[in-house]
């Protein structure tokens, strides 16, 4: 199955936001020390054209677990795109989404080289 061009572009946008969050995660231990509840503010990785610009609060250990797979992303609740992903974990602050197989090729350029599920 192939993806509509709009959804393929959205998946690629998500990968771009993931790169920004990788830089934030690099500072994670310091940023986590500033946070009384041990969370870090990342950019929502929803892939909306131009970015939604919203932040999502995620515990650093959860972000690290999400990043262990290149087809998983952290988005704000309600920012899931069911045509290209499904929720695998959620809280009041964030949703972890996993790409459907047709979308995986658009996000596999992972800076960490993490494998898909």
**Hey, where are the domains in the chain?**
5-106
Q: Is the pLDDT of residue 72 over 90?
A: yes
Report the predicted TM-score, pTM, of the whole model to 2 decimal places. Answer: 0.76
Contact, 57 vs 92, CB < 8 A?
Answer: no
| The residue to which tokens 């290149």 are assigned | 70
pLDDT in tens, 22-55: 777 776 666 555 566 778 888 999 988 777 889 9
Q: Which residue has the tokens 């069911």?
A: 82
């Amino acid at each position: 199955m192939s993806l509509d061009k709009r959804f393929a572009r959205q998946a690629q946008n998500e990968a771009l936001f993931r790169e920004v969050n990788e830089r934030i995660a690099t500072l994670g231990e310091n940023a986590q020390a500033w946070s009384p509840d041990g969370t870090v503010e990342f950019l929502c990785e929803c892939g909306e054209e131009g970015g939604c610009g919203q932040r999502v609060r995620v515990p650093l250990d959860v972000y690290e677990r999400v990043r262990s797979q290149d087809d998983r992303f952290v988005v704000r609740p309600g920012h899931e795109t069911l045509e290209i992903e499904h929720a695998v974990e959620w809280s009041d602050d964030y949703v972890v989404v996993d790409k459907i197989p047709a979308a995986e090729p658009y996000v596999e350029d992972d800076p960490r080289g993490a494998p898909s599920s």
